[in-house]
Amino acid sequence: MTITVAPNPRTLQWRNFREVPSLPDEDAHIDINFSVPNRPFRNVNGRFRMADTFQIGVAPVATVRRGASQTAALLAHEQGHYDIGILVAHAMARDFMALEADTVGALSTAIRDCFNRHRETLMRPVQQKYDRDTNHSQNATQQQRWEGLIRRCMGSTPTCDRLDNLQL
């Protein structure tokens, strides 16, 4: 069973951002859209599992405040948020591969719970700590530290399951 992660695009550019009149307390913002295809489940020895192979899509929902300076530093910071989302998708894929249940309904519930756990419960604290530590890209030392943490974790996917000691 192989579940892969397919970010699109892989690297952000300012053209991926939609201009908005204002944003609360920041010049740019990224949300992450995960797409998990609806594929038939497999029955393996009486236990239901997810489809043998598929991709989790990852796409940014990116906005920038109209008039904000679209600097390389700010774009790199937003790329960090996006990369955290990609890492969360890898962790989600790992957990999806381990799921099995006695019934289709139980597996559907387990998939939904796993998705929500990663998307809401686990990703949010990592994204918030990244912003706090880096002061939304204004603390260059912390920004470099986080870029290193993210780069190392990306280099060890799909096994990396923590970022700055927080679970993905």
pLDDT tens across 47-89, in order? 999 998 999 999 999 999 999 999 999 999 999 999 999 999 9
Give the domain extent around 120.
2-167
> Would you tell me how many other CB atoms lie within 10 Å of the CB of residue 110?
18
Query: Predicted confidence band at 1 (pLDDT cuts at 50, 70, 90)?
Result: confident
Average pLDDT, the chain: 96
Angle between the N-to-C axes of helices 140-155 and 72-98, in degrees from 0 to 180, rounded to the nearest 10: 30
Which DSSP string corresponds to 38-77? ----EEETTEEE--SEEEEEEEEEEEEETT----HHHHHH
Percent of the chain with pLDDT over 90: 95
Pairing of strands 47-49, 42-44: antiparallel
Number of domains forming the structure of the chain: 1
Which run of H or of E encompasses 31? Answer: strand 28-35
Percent of the chain with pLDDT over 70: 100
